[in-house]
Chains A and B, each alone.
Chain A
């Protein structure tokens, strides 16, 4: 069984600054995917960024990038130039090839103007 740990229940960042959200996981599998999802208040979950475990290169999507350390089983999310619209709950998810997902308990991100 997989476990996902997000050790920061809450984080805050000043608008236009950079923030990093932490995620660690535990698995015995070698082939899997890692995702970061964003869940705004009372709104549905949307994908932020995806990383395939077999790829060494860290994924990047515009202002969002990850630091994937497979040996350390670490998968952090960096948000650059933070915007007010980035305020949400962020979930890290471990996903098997079958698509079964294990989520962390989330990090609530507050963006201060």
Chain B
């Protein structure tokens, strides 16, 4: 297991379409986080899971966004009816239990909405 993986790495879609991203965390990491990063800015927190439970969602996560982690392993982030403003890098990170809050980041999925 070499790290957090995200698929796809790039996604181009037309406005109004639905998209789904996947994140595979490091094995045994019980916490999984989603962030959104736009050009020239730092990542913004979207939501996080402890095992399969979604513990917190940012107000940035509108009702068009939904995230799941059904078996406490991989997670998916779905955006429905995409808008041009959704264009960004979507980052996933995971954290081991009892760690010093060190999060390991994946390479991200870059979404472009035309």
Contact = CB atoms under 8 A, between A and B. Distances in A.
Interface of A: 4, 33, 35, 37, 43-47, 50, 52, 91, 93, 95, 97-106
Given A33-B100, A100-B56, A105 B40 contact: yes
Interface of B: 31, 33, 35, 40-45, 48, 55-56, 91, 95, 100-108
Contacts of B105: 37, 44-46
Given A101-B43, A105-B41, 11 more contacts: A44-B108, A45-B43, A47-B104, A50-B102, A91-B42, A91-B43, A98-B56, A99-B31, A99-B95, A100-B45, A100-B56
Nearest to B40: A105
Contacts of A52: 100
A33 B103 CA distance: 12
Given A100-B45, A103-B43, A106-B41, A95 B108 contact: no
B48 A105 contact: no
20 contacts: A4-B42, A43-B107, A44-B108, A45-B91, A45-B105, A47-B102, A50-B100, A52-B100, A93-B42, A95-B101, A95-B103, A99-B48, A99-B103, A100-B45, A101-B35, A101-B103, A102-B45, A103-B44, A106-B40, A106-B42
B42 A105 contact: yes
A38 B82 CA distance: 30
B55 A98 contact: yes
Contacts of B108: 44
Nearest to B91: A45
Nearest to B41: A105
B45 A101 contact: yes
